[in-house]
Amino acid sequence: MSFSLARLGALLTKEFIQMRRDRITFAMMLAVPLIQLVLFGYAINNDPKRLPAALVATSQDHYTRAMVTALINTGYYRFDDVARTAAEADDLMAKGEVSFIVTIPADFARRVDRQDHPQILVEADATDPAAASGAISTLGTVAAQALLREEGKEAVAKQDAANALDVVVHRRYNPEGISQYNIVPGLLGVILQMTMTMMTSIALTREIERGTMENLLAMPASPFEIMLGKILPYLVVGAVQVFVILAAAKLLFGVPFVGGLPLLLFAVTAFVAALVLLGYTISTLARTQMQALQLTVFFFLPSILLSGFMFPYRGMPDWAQWIGEFLPLTHFLRIIRAVMLKGADLSEVGSEVGILGLFIVAYAGAALLRFRRTLD
């Protein structure tokens, strides 16, 4: 058979028409590269600036003010909170509201005037070692130079400047800066989101493609009962995954577990419930299993980039952090890292658990609404 441009043109026309009708696939082809360009170009930052910090200082002398001003001028620190006591500052760090605690002792000015080797204490939340490394590396030189400038000794040699002030750095929750302590707990959330959402998203579309959806709708069952029948088996699968990942985290990677197991399991259950309901909602939007998988990837990409798993959350611009707040993975990562590494209790992560509960209600309502509109 000879080559025919007419036949080739007809085939190309058919493919373009089919592509136009498959709007989800066509949108994915355009949206995914655009999202990657925007996120990697504007939102991702491995050297976060303006990190929230708490100041513990009982004196307001000019040396103390010079120290605070110097730290702010580095661009790494943003003093949103002035704690009256060390316990108050510790509570802020345990809740994840601040990344640093800067403590300037009451006798700081007196020791400076007496040349008695003054000290300041900087405590860093090292659950994410990458987020704090840049801010810590600038501490010694900047603080010492600021102190000497305040004393009128700015021209002193660098070696003498280093001896003018002792900056004590305390990396809390992860003193050795081991990256696995940050990554492995986060992997629990990432793996659960990938598997739970993906498997549940094809729950209804599989029935439609196999032609068994009519039999399912003919059963004397309500949409709520059908939804429970679809998602409960995946909750069991999620429980198995949680056990395997937590066991590997402890036995293979030595990740510390200083919090309460019941609180962690409760949060994991809420997170998995939100994920399977999200997957069920996606299955009511898609017409084929391929479309369901595409929508899952479309949701998974910003989740893994904007949740704080791969890149420091506080290093992103405000608009990216605002988007991240609408992702279940963001709140789950805060919970699991706080419970496993900080020993946080319900009072410290209760707001994050409550947000997961809101996701459950929202996804369940959307799934039931879409089910009635498209399948009844």
pLDDT, tens digit, 9 for 90 and up, residues 157-174: 454 555 567 788 888 888
Residues 6+ apart with CB under 8 A from 261: none
Judge whether residue 274 has pLDDT over 90.
yes
CA distance 151 to 157: 14
> Does the domain formed by 51-172 have CATH 3.20.20.100?
no
**CB of 57 closer than 8 Å to CB of 79:** no
Parts of the chain belonging to CATH 3.40.1710.10: 51-172
Closest CA to 87 of 50, 131, 54, 45: 54
Integer CA distances (angstroms), 55 to 136, 198, 274, 327, 331, in order: 16, 45, 37, 31, 26
Per residue in 101-110, pLDDT (tens digit) is: 888 888 888 8
Scan for tokens 């801010």, then name that residue: 135
69-78, 207-216, 351-360: which has the highest mean pLDDT? 351-360
Integer CA distances (angstroms), 345 to 95, 242, 267, in order: 10, 20, 12
Scan for tokens 């110097």, then name that residue: 70
Question: How high is the mean pLDDT of the chain?
Answer: 82
DSSP 50: S
Within a 13 Å sphere around the CA of 165, how many CA atoms are in the beta-carbon half? 30
| Selected residue with higher pLDDT from 127 and 325 | 325
- Is this structure's pTM higher than 0.85? no
Within a 13 Å sphere around the CA of 106, how many CA atoms are in the beta-carbon half? 4
Beta strands in 142-229 (DSSP E): 166-172
CA distance 121 to 90: 13
